[in-house]
Protein backbone atom coordinates (compact mmCIF):
# COMPACT_ATOMS: atom_id res chain seq x y z
CA UNK A 1 0.00 0.00 0.00
CA UNK A 2 1.40 3.39 -0.97
CA UNK A 3 1.61 6.33 1.38
CA UNK A 4 0.26 9.28 -0.59
CA UNK A 5 2.50 11.62 1.45
CA UNK A 6 5.65 9.93 0.12
CA UNK A 7 4.69 10.16 -3.57
CA UNK A 8 6.55 12.76 -5.59
CA UNK A 9 5.76 14.75 -8.68
CA UNK A 10 8.21 14.60 -11.57
CA UNK A 11 9.70 17.99 -10.66
CA UNK A 12 10.03 17.03 -7.00
CA UNK A 13 11.81 13.79 -7.92
CA UNK A 14 14.11 15.50 -10.42
CA UNK A 15 15.05 18.17 -7.89
CA UNK A 16 15.70 15.57 -5.19
CA UNK A 17 17.97 13.55 -7.48
CA UNK A 18 19.81 16.71 -8.56
CA UNK A 19 20.41 17.71 -4.92
CA UNK A 20 21.61 14.19 -4.11
CA UNK A 21 24.04 14.09 -7.07
CA UNK A 22 25.40 17.54 -6.24
CA UNK A 23 26.04 16.62 -2.60
CA UNK A 24 27.63 13.29 -3.59
CA UNK A 25 29.93 14.90 -6.15
CA UNK A 26 30.93 18.09 -4.30
CA UNK A 27 30.04 17.54 -0.65
CA UNK A 28 27.83 20.67 -0.55
CA UNK A 29 24.23 21.48 -1.42
CA UNK A 30 23.49 23.19 -4.75
CA UNK A 31 22.56 26.85 -4.74
CA UNK A 32 19.00 27.93 -5.48
CA UNK A 33 20.26 29.30 -8.79
CA UNK A 34 21.72 25.90 -9.72
CA UNK A 35 18.50 24.16 -8.73
CA UNK A 36 16.43 26.64 -10.74
CA UNK A 37 18.59 26.11 -13.81
CA UNK A 38 18.53 22.32 -13.47
CA UNK A 39 14.72 22.33 -13.75
CA UNK A 40 14.57 25.18 -16.27
CA UNK A 41 12.40 27.26 -13.96
CA UNK A 42 12.03 30.99 -14.42
CA UNK A 43 12.16 31.96 -10.74
CA UNK A 44 13.50 30.67 -7.43
CA UNK A 45 10.07 30.78 -5.80
CA UNK A 46 9.24 27.48 -7.47
CA UNK A 47 12.35 25.93 -5.93
CA UNK A 48 11.28 27.11 -2.46
CA UNK A 49 7.90 25.39 -2.90
CA UNK A 50 9.51 22.16 -4.15
CA UNK A 51 11.97 22.06 -1.27
CA UNK A 52 9.17 22.64 1.24
CA UNK A 53 7.21 19.77 -0.31
CA UNK A 54 10.24 17.43 -0.16
CA UNK A 55 10.82 18.41 3.46
CA UNK A 56 7.18 17.77 4.39
CA UNK A 57 7.37 14.30 2.82
CA UNK A 58 10.53 13.42 4.74
CA UNK A 59 12.96 13.24 1.80
CA UNK A 60 15.19 16.13 2.85
CA UNK A 61 15.80 18.38 5.82
CA UNK A 62 17.29 21.82 6.18
CA UNK A 63 20.42 21.94 8.32
CA UNK A 64 20.26 24.45 11.14
CA UNK A 65 22.89 27.20 11.34
CA UNK A 66 23.91 26.66 7.70
CA UNK A 67 22.42 28.89 5.02
CA UNK A 68 20.66 26.87 2.30
CA UNK A 69 22.29 23.64 3.51
CA UNK A 70 20.24 20.51 2.81
CA UNK A 71 20.56 16.85 3.74
CA UNK A 72 18.99 14.05 1.70
CA UNK A 73 17.30 11.60 4.08
CA UNK A 74 15.99 9.12 1.52
CA UNK A 75 15.44 8.66 -2.21
CA UNK A 76 12.36 7.45 -4.07
CA UNK A 77 12.04 3.68 -4.34
CA UNK A 78 11.78 4.13 -8.11
CA UNK A 79 15.22 5.79 -8.32
CA UNK A 80 17.62 3.70 -10.40
CA UNK A 81 21.26 3.08 -9.59
CA UNK A 82 22.11 5.43 -12.45
CA UNK A 83 19.98 8.15 -10.81
CA UNK A 84 21.85 7.72 -7.54
CA UNK A 85 25.43 7.23 -8.67
CA UNK A 86 25.67 8.89 -12.07
CA UNK A 87 28.51 11.32 -11.58
CA UNK A 88 30.71 9.40 -14.01
CA UNK A 89 29.28 8.44 -17.36
CA UNK A 90 31.91 6.17 -18.91
CA UNK A 91 33.15 6.98 -22.37
CA UNK A 92 33.45 3.48 -23.77
CA UNK A 93 36.09 2.69 -26.38
CA UNK A 94 34.85 -0.43 -28.16
CA UNK A 95 37.17 -3.38 -28.50
CA UNK A 96 38.66 -4.39 -31.82
CA UNK A 97 41.13 -1.56 -32.41
CA UNK A 98 43.56 -3.82 -34.23
CA UNK A 99 46.67 -2.70 -36.05
CA UNK A 100 44.79 -2.14 -39.32
CA UNK A 101 42.25 0.11 -37.63
CA UNK A 102 45.04 1.84 -35.75
CA UNK A 103 46.65 2.84 -39.05
CA UNK A 104 43.36 4.23 -40.37
CA UNK A 105 42.47 6.17 -37.24
CA UNK A 106 44.47 8.64 -35.20
CA UNK A 107 45.26 6.55 -32.12
CA UNK A 108 47.91 6.33 -29.45
CA UNK A 109 49.06 3.29 -27.46
CA UNK A 110 49.23 3.29 -23.66
CA UNK A 111 50.50 0.61 -21.25
CA UNK A 112 48.17 -1.66 -19.31
CA UNK A 113 49.73 -2.17 -15.88
CA UNK A 114 47.78 -5.23 -14.70
CA UNK A 115 44.62 -5.68 -12.66
CA UNK A 116 42.99 -3.44 -10.10
CA UNK A 117 40.25 -4.47 -7.71
CA UNK A 118 36.84 -2.88 -7.99
CA UNK A 119 35.80 -4.81 -4.92
CA UNK A 120 38.50 -5.52 -2.37
CA UNK A 121 42.07 -4.21 -2.39
CA UNK A 122 44.78 -6.12 -4.25
CA UNK A 123 48.51 -5.62 -4.35
CA UNK A 124 49.40 -2.74 -6.62
CA UNK A 125 50.87 -3.84 -9.93
CA UNK A 126 53.34 -1.54 -11.63
CA UNK A 127 54.60 -3.78 -14.45
CA UNK A 128 53.35 -3.37 -18.00
CA UNK A 129 51.46 -6.48 -19.16
CA UNK A 130 50.10 -5.26 -22.50
CA UNK A 131 49.28 -2.16 -24.51
CA UNK A 132 46.02 -0.79 -25.88
CA UNK A 133 45.20 1.93 -28.40
CA UNK A 134 43.19 4.98 -27.39
CA UNK A 135 42.09 7.97 -29.49
CA UNK A 136 44.82 10.55 -29.92
CA UNK A 137 42.35 13.24 -28.83
CA UNK A 138 42.27 11.58 -25.41
CA UNK A 139 46.00 10.98 -25.13
CA UNK A 140 46.82 14.64 -25.77
CA UNK A 141 45.36 15.58 -22.40
CA UNK A 142 48.09 14.28 -20.08
CA UNK A 143 49.75 10.91 -19.47
CA UNK A 144 47.51 7.86 -19.30
CA UNK A 145 47.69 4.17 -18.43
CA UNK A 146 45.27 1.24 -18.42
CA UNK A 147 44.22 -1.19 -15.70
CA UNK A 148 42.08 -4.31 -15.98
CA UNK A 149 39.04 -4.33 -13.68
CA UNK A 150 38.55 -7.26 -11.33
CA UNK A 151 35.33 -7.19 -9.32
CA UNK A 152 31.88 -5.64 -9.36
CA UNK A 153 31.90 -2.87 -6.77
CA UNK A 154 31.67 -0.10 -9.41
CA UNK A 155 29.01 -1.62 -11.68
CA UNK A 156 26.43 1.03 -10.80
CA UNK A 157 28.81 3.62 -12.26
CA UNK A 158 28.91 1.63 -15.52
CA UNK A 159 32.25 -0.10 -14.79
CA UNK A 160 32.09 -3.87 -15.24
CA UNK A 161 34.29 -6.79 -14.29
CA UNK A 162 36.70 -7.37 -17.19
CA UNK A 163 36.68 -3.78 -18.47
CA UNK A 164 39.97 -1.99 -18.99
CA UNK A 165 39.85 1.48 -17.48
CA UNK A 166 41.75 4.43 -18.90
CA UNK A 167 43.35 6.48 -16.15
CA UNK A 168 44.93 9.91 -16.36
CA UNK A 169 47.96 10.16 -14.10
CA UNK A 170 47.35 12.60 -11.25
CA UNK A 171 48.21 12.92 -7.57
CA UNK A 172 45.16 15.00 -6.64
CA UNK A 173 41.46 14.68 -7.37
CA UNK A 174 38.28 16.63 -6.80
CA UNK A 175 35.65 15.47 -4.35
CA UNK A 176 33.43 12.86 -6.01
CA UNK A 177 35.82 11.78 -8.77
CA UNK A 178 36.55 8.09 -9.37
CA UNK A 179 40.22 7.48 -8.71
CA UNK A 180 42.90 4.84 -8.52
CA UNK A 181 43.90 5.07 -4.86
CA UNK A 182 47.02 3.54 -3.37
CA UNK A 183 46.50 2.48 0.25
CA UNK A 184 49.49 2.29 2.61
CA UNK A 185 51.81 2.31 -0.44
CA UNK A 186 51.02 -1.27 -1.50
CA UNK A 187 47.30 -1.86 -2.15
CA UNK A 188 45.40 -0.28 -5.04
CA UNK A 189 41.67 0.07 -5.52
CA UNK A 190 39.23 1.88 -7.78
CA UNK A 191 36.76 3.98 -5.79
CA UNK A 192 34.97 7.30 -5.68
CA UNK A 193 36.94 9.69 -3.48
CA UNK A 194 35.13 11.73 -0.86
CA UNK A 195 36.82 14.01 1.69
CA UNK A 196 34.91 14.15 4.95
CA UNK A 197 36.58 16.43 7.47
CA UNK A 198 39.94 14.94 8.41
CA UNK A 199 39.33 11.56 6.78
CA UNK A 200 39.03 10.24 3.24
CA UNK A 201 36.12 8.02 2.26
CA UNK A 202 36.50 5.64 -0.69
CA UNK A 203 33.03 4.78 -1.93
CA UNK A 204 31.88 1.89 -4.08
CA UNK A 205 29.10 2.16 -6.65
CA UNK A 206 27.42 -1.03 -5.48
CA UNK A 207 25.18 -1.13 -2.42
CA UNK A 208 26.66 -4.48 -1.37
CA UNK A 209 30.02 -2.89 -0.54
CA UNK A 210 30.77 -0.70 2.45
CA UNK A 211 32.52 2.66 2.22
CA UNK A 212 36.15 2.46 3.34
CA UNK A 213 37.45 5.21 5.63
CA UNK A 214 41.15 6.14 5.87
CA UNK A 215 43.31 8.84 7.33
CA UNK A 216 44.68 11.24 4.69
CA UNK A 217 48.24 10.02 5.21
CA UNK A 218 47.24 6.48 4.16
CA UNK A 219 45.74 7.36 0.75
CA UNK A 220 47.65 8.46 -2.34
CA UNK A 221 45.83 9.29 -5.56
CA UNK A 222 47.54 7.63 -8.53
CA UNK A 223 45.17 8.75 -11.26
CA UNK A 224 41.66 9.79 -12.27
CA UNK A 225 39.31 7.62 -14.32
CA UNK A 226 38.58 9.24 -17.69
CA UNK A 227 37.33 6.42 -19.92
CA UNK A 228 37.18 2.66 -20.32
CA UNK A 229 37.84 0.03 -22.96
CA UNK A 230 35.25 -2.73 -23.38
CA UNK A 231 35.58 -5.68 -25.74
CA UNK A 232 32.15 -6.58 -27.17
CA UNK A 233 33.39 -9.57 -29.13
The C-alpha atoms of residue 21 and residue 111 are separated, in whole angstroms, by 33
Give whole-number Cα distances, 108 to 23, 103, 134, 185, in Å: 36, 10, 5, 30
Report CA-CA distances (Å) from 39 to 50, 58, 83, 159.
Answer: 11, 21, 15, 28
Q: Based on the residue annotation, tell me whether 36 is a catalytic residue of this protein.
A: no
What is d(CA 44, CA 216) in angstroms, rounded to the nearest whole number?
Answer: 39
Angle CA 141–144–145, to nearest 5: 165
Distance CA 172, CA 215 (A): 15
Q: Which of 13, 21, 148, 191 is catalytic?
A: 191
Q: Angle formed by the axes of helices 10-26 and 45-56, to 10°?
A: 90
**Distance (Å, whole) CA 140 – CA 155:** 28
- Rounded CA-CA distance 108/38 in Å is 37
Q: How far apart (Å, rounded) are the C-alpha atoms in residues 107 and 94?
A: 13
Choose, from 139, 153, 204, 227, the residue flagged as catalytic: 153
Q: 153 catalytic, yes or no?
A: yes
Catalytic residues: 153, 191
Amino acid sequence: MYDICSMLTKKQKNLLLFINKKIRSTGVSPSYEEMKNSLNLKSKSGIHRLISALEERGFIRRLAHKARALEVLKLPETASANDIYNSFSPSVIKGGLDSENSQKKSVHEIPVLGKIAAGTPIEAIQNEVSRIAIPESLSKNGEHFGLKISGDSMIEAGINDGDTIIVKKANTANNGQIVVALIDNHEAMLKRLRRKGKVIALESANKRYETKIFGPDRVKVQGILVSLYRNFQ
